[in-house]
A and B are shown apart, each in its own frame.
Chain A
Amino acid sequence: MSERSHAFSLDRRTFLKSGVAAGGGLVISLALPLAFRPALAQVSSSPAFAPNAFIRIDPQSVVTLVMPMVEMGQGIYTAMAMLLAEELEVGLEQVRLEHAPPDDALYANSVFQSQTTGDSASIRAFWVPLRQAGAVARTLLIQAASQQWNVDTSTCRAQRGEVLHTASSRRLAYGELVDAAASLPVPARDSVVLKRPEDFTLIGTPAKRLDAPDKVDGRTEFGIDVRLPGLKVAAIAISPVLGGKPRSVNEAAARAIKGVRQIVTIDEAVAVVADHMWAAKKGLKAAAIQWDDGPNAGVDSASIVRQLEEASKQPGVVARNEGDAEKALAGAAQRVDAIYQLPFLAHAAMEPMNCTVHWRNDACDIWVGTQVPTRTQAAVSEMTGLPKAAIQIHNHFLGGGFGRRLEHDGTLLAVKIARHVTGPVKIVWSREEDIRHDLYRPYYYDRLSAGLDAHGTPVAWTHRVSGSSILARWLPPAFQNGLDSDAVQVAIEQPYTFPNFHVDYVRVEPPGVLTTWWRGIGAAHNVFVVESFVDELAHAAKQDPLTYRKALMANPRAVGVLTLAAEKAEWGKPLPARWGRGISVQFAFGSYLSQVAEVEVASDGSIRVHRIVCAADCGIVINPDTIAAQVEGGTLFGLTAALHGSITLKNGRVEQGNFHDYRPIRMNEAPVVETHLVKSAESPGGFGEAPTAAVAPAVTNAIFAATGTRIRTLPVDTALLRL
């Protein structure tokens, strides 16, 4: 990975301006109720030392760290605090955290050039800048102390929120130095000296999550928990068919429900505003909305799959080409062809979609948990004509994101409704609305062919991806020459090398359904396809899947995780009948990961995943326990999709609506997940999404090992596995 230039600067003036803005009231409204909150009330009234947009220290030594990326379970608040605290030389128990306000200039993630949390990119983007921010502050505090003592800076050191002069046994708390430090010129962030890895005291340790104590007590405020004076609550019904409109609404019946205050009908939805959610829900039911379905009324899954199948017969935009795959295929001793299909998937975060808006004619406040605060602010500005400065986004902890909260549709809808309401209104979607009005992981239809020589070694590999382009809608400038780089992610940069190689992409936009990012993004699609097909080639070559993979791999880190996972999973050790082991390996998000799944298939075809062994090399690890947690959780997220996940459409409507027909993995189905980390000195890779991508092929390859049945369509159809 290259360190790209960063969109933000730690320029002192910019930062001071933000400090002034913070003093104007943001501090209090954004203050997090985290476990450690000393002297909270002092913060906004005292002048603070704030050499950059991430750190503020007040005269009482309260250290406030501003979190540029959002916490949605991935542990990033703790990891970012560790990066800052490592160089600032404070203990994690000495800091309080704050959600950053929307500001691309100050808080952009360099991968996106915007304040966006996604693509497992937070650590890759902030690994250097946050340590530099901490080191800048520490440098200034040491300088301030050394001037006060009239000693050389090299004789002073910082430790646990104090500057020490060992020779004279003097010490000053950071709070005592803020005035002096604030008057010093701020050094350029790339001029300060960062600690050597061997001197790290926090990075690499299993530090406790800073957000955990409030979360186990029910005190954490998610977007849905916002409480404001005079707040009303609204239930919403969105047209069940994309593009449809409400035709009739029985407003009188809705108003007759006790507690209902107002019915708001907009282009694509009806909201019932009430004193509490039950009244709103009853009002919505009483409204007996009739819909005009519009042009997508006839859309169904079968027609979408037919459309993809047809489109995939024609060549697409070339994503990567090496040698002459067609010629090599024609001359191969053996040819293997396969079609792989992956379904539409909803996100189904535990916190249903919600957004609270207080609209005034010249300004608007928005309380929401979002992965894209600046993008949301810009979209509201564009829709309403309000200047961005008049739109306050109060970000929150997210009760799961998984890509769903990279979209601002829910906020725009909430603003449209709130424009008709006096005072603040909280719009909460039902679980059914949440699942039926998601933007879905695209349905992919992939054609693959490979040619093997007489020894079973592949001489050609072709892969055609067909599906919706998320990039073309979400980030049009990144959609270049008809190629969606996400749709072919991993497919074009595998751990394997093939002498003749061709990957192309056919964009197909199905009607009546919108698509977006889903945890694991392109990797969650293509790792399944690539790792399944490589497994097919191993079988065609009559070779062990592990040995076969190793022979095709050159990268030592990829070989390392594959070997470690196989060893820990006791690859090759005999299993009972109808049990199997399957393996996968990937390079994605800058990290290497291999998984071995141990699966039992019952005679009725039902699947029991007993154990998943994971070996990861994600470079320098910030918090090893967070990596283990992401392995466990990311794996289950992918396993849920592999075994149960599918969104289908009929008559233009999404057929699933709640956890009975869009099934999550539950406790009784959850396998044991083991994590083994490879020690590495490489720059940190991204990791939150990696395990989600790796698990499906490990499981389906294990199903093949157990039954001889190759699963090429997800979710797994257990009817194919019956004895």
Chain B
Amino acid sequence: MAFTIRVNGTKHIADVDPDTPLLWVLRDVLGMSGTKFGCGVALCGACTVHIDGVPARSCLTRIDSIGDKAITTIEAIGQTPIGSALRRAWLDLEVVQCGYCQSGQIMSAAALLASTPHPSDADIDAAMSGNVCRCGTYQRIRAAIHRAAV
């Protein structure tokens, strides 16, 4: 059946089964490949998006659960003040290596800063430990979040 979803302020129609995860709608139906597939079961955070500002693992978010809520992805987060500050900090501190997980890292970090403008290390651990980075950029992610929070 056809679902209308709002992604980064634009309405899209996807004619898919109701149980289809948002991840595959974004990537394969809408052609937005910034949101990454990593594990398929919410263990790695690579597919993190915001739904009405709340971080969500899009690999387990059914299309029929979204309704008219606003979906924000990595493609647009840089246009928000928090996203822009994170983007700058990520570049200043040279966080990325392979870069595959970083969409999800930045989306989780943006949600953290939205709810906790000046996070402690413990806050960062709590918010970011669901995001796996096999290149091991955690130390720089932590520093970049602190930097963006200033």
Query: Interface of A with B (CB < 8 Å)?
Result: 71-75, 206, 208-209, 211-213, 215-222, 224-225, 227, 233, 258-259, 275-279, 282, 348-352, 397-402, 428, 430-431, 625, 629, 632-637, 640, 658-660, 664-668, 670, 672-673
B124 and A211 within 8 A (CB): no
User: Using Cβ atoms and an 8 Å threshold, which residues of chain A touch B137?
Assistant: 629, 632-633
Query: Interface of B with A (CB < 8 Å)?
Result: 16-17, 19-21, 24-25, 27-29, 31, 33-41, 43-44, 46, 73-75, 78, 87, 90-91, 94-103, 106, 124-126, 128-142
Can you list 20 A-B pairs with a CB-CB distance of less than 8 A? A71-B98, A208-B94, A209-B94, A211-B96, A212-B90, A212-B95, A217-B74, A275-B28, A276-B24, A348-B134, A349-B100, A398-B98, A401-B98, A431-B38, A633-B136, A640-B134, A658-B41, A660-B43, A667-B124, A667-B131
User: Using Cβ atoms and an 8 Å threshold, which residues of chain B touch A658?
Assistant: 39-41, 43
C-alpha spacing A668/B142, complex, angstroms: 10
C-alpha spacing A635/B134, complex, angstroms: 11
User: Using Cβ atoms and an 8 Å threshold, which residues of chain A touch B129?
Assistant: 666-668
A215 and B99 within 8 A (CB): yes
User: Using Cβ atoms and an 8 Å threshold, which residues of chain B touch A74?
Assistant: 97
Contact among B36, B102, B132 for A664, CB-based, below 8 A: B132
A397 and B98 within 8 A (CB): yes
A218 and B91 within 8 A (CB): no
B20 and A351 within 8 A (CB): no
A399 and B98 within 8 A (CB): yes
Give chain A's interface secondary structure class: loop
User: Using Cβ atoms and an 8 Å threshold, which residues of chain B touch A277?
Assistant: 24, 27-28, 37
C-alpha spacing A259/B24, complex, angstroms: 13
A278 and B96 within 8 A (CB): no
C-alpha spacing A668/B98, complex, angstroms: 21
User: Using Cβ atoms and an 8 Å threshold, which residues of chain B touch A397?
Assistant: 98-99
C-alpha spacing A695/B78, complex, angstroms: 36
Q: A279-B17, A636-B136 are in contact. Are A75 and B98 (CB under 8 A)?
A: no
- 17 more CB-based (< 8 A) A-B contacts, given A218-B73, A282-B17, A668-B129: A74-B97, A75-B97, A212-B91, A215-B102, A275-B28, A276-B24, A278-B16, A278-B20, A279-B17, A349-B100, A350-B101, A351-B98, A431-B39, A431-B44, A658-B41, A667-B125, A670-B136
B17 and A351 within 8 A (CB): no
Question: Residue of B at shortest CB range from A212?
Answer: B96
> What's the least CB distance linking B122 to chain A, in Å?
9
C-alpha spacing A636/B120, complex, angstroms: 22
User: Using Cβ atoms and an 8 Å threshold, which residues of chain B touch A673?
Assistant: 139
Shortest 4 CB-CB contacts between residues of A and residues of B: A218-B34, A636-B136, A399-B100, A73-B98
Q: Which of A208, A352, A673 has the most chain B CB atoms inside 10 A of its CB?
A: A352
User: Using Cβ atoms and an 8 Å threshold, which residues of chain A touch B39?
Assistant: 431, 658-659
Question: Residue of B at shortest CB range from A206?
Answer: B94
Contact among A282, A350, A629 for B132, CB-based, below 8 A: A350
Question: Residue of A at shortest CB range from B46?
Answer: A350
> What's the least CB distance linking A430 to chain B, in Å?
6
User: Using Cβ atoms and an 8 Å threshold, which residues of chain B touch A399?
Assistant: 36, 98-100
Q: A629-B97, A659-B44 are in contact. Are A73 and B135 (CB under 8 A)?
A: yes
> What's the least CB distance linking A685 to chain B, in Å?
19
B96 and A667 within 8 A (CB): no
User: Using Cβ atoms and an 8 Å threshold, which residues of chain B touch A670?
Assistant: 136, 138-139
User: Using Cβ atoms and an 8 Å threshold, which residues of chain B touch A632?
Assistant: 136-137, 139-140
A233 and B99 within 8 A (CB): no
User: Using Cβ atoms and an 8 Å threshold, which residues of chain A touch B102?
Assistant: 215-216
> What's the least CB distance linking B41 to chain A, in Å?
6
Question: Residue of A at shortest CB range from B138?
Answer: A670
> What's the least CB distance linking A261 to chain B, in Å?
13
